[in-house]
Amino acid sequence: GENVEQHPSTLSVQEGDSAVIKCTYSDSASNYFPWYKQELGKRPQLIIDIRSNVGEKKDQRIAVTLNKTAKHFSLHITETQPEDSAVYFCAAGGGYNKLIFGAGTRLAVHP
Amino acid sequence: NAGVTQTPKFQVLKTGQSMTLQCAQDMNHNSMYWYRQDPGMGLRLIYYSASEGTTDKGEVPNGYNVSRLNKREFSLRLESAAPSQTSVYFCASSEWGSGGRELFFGEGSRLTVL
């Protein structure tokens, strides 16, 4: 089955810096790679996703890149703000295959 | 629309007691899921229901049972709770299958087993 590894587990940056979170997956059949953000005490919410026919996708300060050959994908947050502080989860899945989540990255953005 | 609603939000059980977590969605989604969240372990799928009338095991199904009561409701039952089941439980739904659709999560249920 699918296995998703996520690094780093914690990340601390200064406001305005960029943050990068990386994930690797094992199942070459996976073709859908979402990222979820979970603020403290809240539910996870989708912030961006990418499908295997696309190499990069951007939404304002957030971008995701996918390398299917190497089976890894990354989340890039530019110009970080304190409200970006949260736990971020990557996931991998495909078709009707269930999503498998990474262990999460706790991002702290310091003013 | 309320989205995904799960009850109770908090529960304390003694080892061996049973309980049912309830989940309902009003988005007319076909698929529903139960996840557990433990520190450092991310979100792990317990059971899911791809459509009304079907249920399947996820990554960590042992010690749990589920019922897809109708299209709206999906319950999770702990028959004999164990301390290892102390966790935050999230119900989620998606339009059809989680492989390519956004998951909408409930607010979570924090369960402590003593």
Q: Which of A9, A46, A100 sits opposite B102 (nearest CB)?
A: A46
Count of beta carbons in the 10 Å neighbourhood of residue B58: 19
Give chain B's length.
114
Mean pLDDT of chain A: 93
Mean pLDDT, residues B6-31 taken together: 96
CA A103/CA A34 separation, integer angstroms = 14
Identify the pLDDT of residue B3. 95
Q: Which residues of A touch B105 (CB under 8 A)?
A: 43-45
Whole-angstrom distance, CA of residue A38 vs CA of residue B48: 21
Mean pLDDT for the stretch of residues B55-60: 92
* Nearest-CB residue to B43 (from A44, A49, A93): A44
Residues of A in contact with B43 (CB under 8 A): 44, 89, 91, 101
d(CA B22, CA B76) in angstroms, rounded, equals 7
Residue that the structure tokens 């990069």 belong to: A56
Q: Is the pLDDT of residue B98 over 60?
A: no
| Whole-number pLDDT of residue A93 | 87
pLDDT score, position A96: 59
**Residues on A contacting B at a C-beta cutoff of 8 Å:** 1, 6, 9, 31-32, 34, 36, 42-46, 49, 51, 89, 91, 93-104
**Residues in chain B closer than 8 A to A44 (CB atoms):** 43, 90, 103, 105
C-beta separation of A71 from A52 below 8 A: no
Q: What tokens does B102 get?
A: 């956004």
Query: CA A57, CA A63: separation in Å to the nearest integer?
Result: 6
pLDDT interval class at B97 (50, 70, 90): low
Choose, out of B5, B34, B98, the residue to mutate when testing the contact with A (most A CBs < 10 Å). Answer: B98
Q: What tokens appear for B4 in the block? A: 């995904």
CA distances from A26 to A68, A94, B21 (A): 11, 12, 32
- If one compares A49 and B2, the residue with the highest pLDDT of the two is A49
Mean pLDDT across B5-34 = 96
- Structure confidence by residue, pLDDT tens digits, A53-93: 889 999 999 999 999 999 999 999 999 999 999 999 999 98
Q: Do B50 and A93 touch (CB under 8 A)?
A: no
Report the alpha-carbon distance of residue B23 to residue B5 in Å, rounded.
6
A42: helix, strand or coil: coil
Which pLDDT score, from 0 to 100, does residue A97 have? 60
CB-CB neighbors (< 8 A) of A97 in chain B: 97, 99
Distance, CA of B78 to CA of B72 (rounded, Å): 20
